[in-house]
Amino acid sequence: MQVQSITLHKLQMDLKNPFKTSFGTVQNKEFFILEVKDHEGHIGYGETVAFTTPWYTEETTKTVEHMLIDFLIPLVKENPLHHPEEVHELFSSLRKNNMAKAALEMAIWDLYAKQQEISLREGIGGRKERIDVGISIGMQPTTKQLIERIKMAIKQGFKRVKLKIGPENDLKLLETVREHFPDLPLMADANSAYTLADIDHLKQLDSFNLMMIEQPLAHDDIVDHARLQEQLETPICLDESIHSFKDAKDAISLGSCAIINVKAGRVGGLTEAKKIHDYCLKEGIDLWCGGMLEAGIGRAHNIALASLEGFTLPGDIAGSQHYWDEDIIYPEVTVEDGQIAVPESKGIGYEIYEKILNKYKIASKTFSL
């Protein structure tokens, strides 16, 4: 599957609303769309998910650009590929930088599916034709606004609601939310806002019947999470702590979590995400697909990934309209009754909307291979 050229389009797009977590606020996204072309004119697309500051993982838009240009594209140039599953192994000679690796690996997966004339879903072995989705609601200026947001999410049919919490806004907030929505499938994401010293405080969260609490402790921890899970009835879901299949295996065997949130960007691509998926399926561990406030290309990849049967819980995959005034793909992603139809056409199953891409593009570079 020889690659002829790789183009990096740098985009700047503003989210409709600021997205606030315990660690900071995202409003302006700066990221790359990757175009990987072969000699027959097939094009595979990828999207980088790092932010401009390293608040979520250590990667940033700039480190991703550096890794792609100085290391990852040259590796693809020097090594002929036969199948996208070889890319993860090829990139393993370079440490970490999973988001940079994932963007290129995922573009190569899309290219492969297009060459084979199959959907990306089929390419990775996904069986679901529709996927259940939930919504992640950032911290709101007032509880009243949060309640309104939740009402809207329920009206739109989302299968579960995820709230962002931290030590300053958890118990009272969850109490109010539960008063309004006693039976809503609800979960909370702390983005590492607590430490093990907060254990008595965290135990109080058990009274809210949450589906899970996501990443309560440090971004790089699995040991303390195991200690916490021992004393917590609410299942713990790990996000930031899981960067690889090995992390997932270790966390499961230590009892650090009962559920995993997989993001292909965080684990270095679709091949590693699928490996985690296969293991969770075998071990009976619940799994769902996380999000990184992606534009259409990243969103399309998440939809294909979530079509694998082991994604047992609704993912953080909203429709394009939820985050963007206009998306860079057509058709845009739409949610109906809390579900997204997985496209059947070739590759990711969405086309690039050139006009919109060009509108938000601030630079492009092409590398011939």
C-alpha–C-alpha distance, residues 356 and 327, integer Å: 7
CB of 325 to Mg ion, least distance (A): 25
292 binds, among Mg ion, ligand OSB, none (CB under 5 to 8 A by kind): ligand OSB
Q: Candidates 35-43, 245-253, 284-292, 349-357: pick the segment binding ligand OSB (CB under 6 A).
A: 284-292
C-alpha–C-alpha distance, residues 132 and 303, integer Å: 10
Query: Any contact of residue 316 with ligand OSB (CB under 6 A)?
Result: yes
Query: Any contact of residue 3 with ligand OSB (CB under 6 A)?
Result: no
Q: Annotated catalytic residue: which of 263, 274, 275, 346? A: 263
164 tagged catalytic: yes
Residues near Mg ion (CB under 5 A) are 189, 214, 239
C-alpha–C-alpha distance, residues 72 and 87, integer Å: 10
Smaller CB distance to Mg ion: residue 170 or 214? 214
Q: Identify whether the C-beta of residue 18 lies closer than 8 Å to the C-beta of residue 7.
A: no
Smaller CB distance to ligand OSB: residue 49 or 356? 49
Nearest residue to 298 (alpha-carbon basis) of 276, 336, 260, 324: 324
Query: How many angstroms separate the Cα of 156 from the Cα of each of 218, 263, 304?
Result: 33, 24, 22
CB of 158 to Mg ion, least distance (A): 16
Smaller CB distance to ligand OSB: residue 293 or 305? 293
CB of 214 to Mg ion, least distance (A): 5
Q: Identify whether the C-beta of residue 342 lies closer than 8 Å to the C-beta of residue 114.
A: no
DSSP state of 213: E
Query: Any contact of residue 189 with ligand OSB (CB under 6 A)?
Result: yes
The count of other CB atoms within 10 Å of the CB of residue 7 is 16
Q: Provide the terminal-to-terminal Cα distance of the chain, rounded to the nearest Å.
A: 13
Q: Annotated catalytic residue: which of 37, 101, 159, 164? A: 164
263 tagged catalytic: yes
Rg value, the chain, Cα:
20
**SS3 of 362, please?**
strand
Smaller CB distance to ligand OSB: residue 2 or 53? 53
291 binds, among Mg ion, ligand OSB, none (CB under 5 to 8 A by kind): ligand OSB
Residues forming the site for ligand OSB (CB under 6 A): 56, 136, 189, 191, 239, 290-293, 316, 318
